[in-house]
């Protein structure tokens, strides 16, 4: 792995194992544990990437620290990680806003655990690029990809010249997700083989051109989705009861 800038992580292709990506976990790590067991995840050679929102609303947000310490787990920053950092740095309204959005679990941690987790979250990048064995790359962004042009966004991230508005949009924006939700067409990103996004809970894993939307509302009692990190990869969408598991992408729209 190399990191040209803290905002961007770049990973070489996995030459020995398999790569997977998981949607917004939101503290539902029991569901992730079950998915990893289901797919036969091998921690000695496989890797797991996350589109962010590890914490808040689910039952076990403190387990984010456990996963962030595992060498095979790589996450980007979601808006709930942003809220954590703002709450710790600013207190006041930022802390109140975070608690309203599920951040109260943090207060139960001891001071050392809070400090250690905050450091790990602050180090999370805004995007991850992973080379694919078949060629091209997979990209992870939490909310949206401004301009839908990965090479342009990548250059700004790597050089540290990305506009702050674009950085915020990567974490918080829902423009492309709303396009899909409202049936206004599909979404395609140039310069990447496949792009995985979270942030906006979808009724099922969505495939639209080369974008994949994998937040399926785990914390809402719905499903946690995990997929192979590939343009044509398999998908597992596990229900909260850990019994029902679906395996289909819902294909949406022609890009417009």
CATH number at residue 204: 3.60.21.10
Residue 248 lies in a domain: no
Residue 246 — φ and ψ, nearest 5°? -100, 155
Q: What is the pTM of this model?
A: 0.96
* Domain containing residue 193: 8-77+125-243
Which tokens is 78 given? 């979601």
Which tokens is 201 given? 């809970």
Q: Residue 5 pLDDT more than 50?
A: no
Residue 2 lies in a domain: no
> By C-alpha distance, which of 212, 205, 216 is closest to 250?
205
Q: In what order do the strands lie in the sheet with 250-251?
A: 2-5, 8-11, 127-131, 137-141, 194-197, 211-213, 206-208, 250-251
Per-residue model confidence as pLDDT tens digits over 175-220: 999 999 998 888 999 999 999 999 999 999 999 999 999 999 999 9
Residue 57 lies in a domain: yes
Query: How far is Cα 119 from Cα 184, in angstroms, rounded to an integer?
Result: 40
Q: Regarding beta strands 206-208 and 211-213, do their DSSP bridges make them parallel or antiparallel, or are they unpaired?
A: antiparallel
Per-residue model confidence as pLDDT tens digits over 8-56: 999 999 999 999 999 999 999 999 999 999 999 999 999 999 999 999 9
Which tokens is 108 given? 């139960």
Q: Is 126 one of the catalytic residues?
A: no
Residue 84 lies in a domain: no
Which tokens is 200 given? 């906006």
Counting the structural domains of the chain, the total is 1
Residue 237 lies in a domain: yes
Mean local confidence (pLDDT), 109-137: 97
Q: Regarding beta strands 223-228 and 235-239, do their DSSP bridges make them parallel or antiparallel, or are they unpaired?
A: antiparallel
Residue 159 lies in a domain: yes
Catalytic residue (choose from 80, 126, 142, 199): 80
CB–CB of 62/109 below 8 Å? yes
Residue 196 lies in a domain: yes
């Amino acid at each position: 792995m190399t990191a040209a800038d803290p905002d961007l992580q770049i990973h070489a292709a996995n030459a020995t194992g398999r790569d997977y990506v998981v949607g917004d976990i939101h503290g539902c790590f029991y569901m992730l544990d079950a998915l990893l067991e289901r797919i036969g995840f091998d921690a000695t050679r496989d890797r797991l990437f996350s589109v962010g929102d590890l914490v808040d609303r689910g039952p076990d947000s403190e387990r984010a620290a456990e996963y962030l310490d595992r060498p095979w787990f790589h996450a980007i920053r979601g808006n709930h990680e942003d809220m954590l950092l703002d709450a710790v740095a600013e207190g006041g309204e930022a802390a109140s806003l975070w608690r309203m959005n599920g951040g109260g679990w943090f207060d139960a941690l001891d001071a050392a655990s809070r400090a250690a987790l905050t450091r790990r979250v602050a180090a999370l990048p805004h995007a991850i690029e992973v080379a694919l064995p078949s060629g091209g790359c997979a990209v992870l962004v939490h909310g949206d990809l401004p301009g839908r042009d990965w090479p342009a966004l990548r250059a700004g991230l790597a050089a540290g010249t990305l506009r702050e508005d674009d950085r915020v949009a990567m974490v918080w924006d829902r423009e492309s997700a709303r396009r899909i939700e409202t049936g206004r067409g599909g979404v395609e990103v140039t310069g990447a083989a496949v792009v995985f996004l979270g942030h906006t809970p979808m009724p099922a894993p969505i495939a639209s051109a080369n974008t994949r939307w994998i937040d399926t509302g785990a914390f809402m009692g719905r499903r946690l989705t995990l997929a192979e990190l590939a343009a044509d990869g398999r998908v597992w969408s596990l229900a909260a009861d850990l019994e029902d598991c679906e395996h289909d992408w819902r294909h949406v729209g022609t890009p417009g």
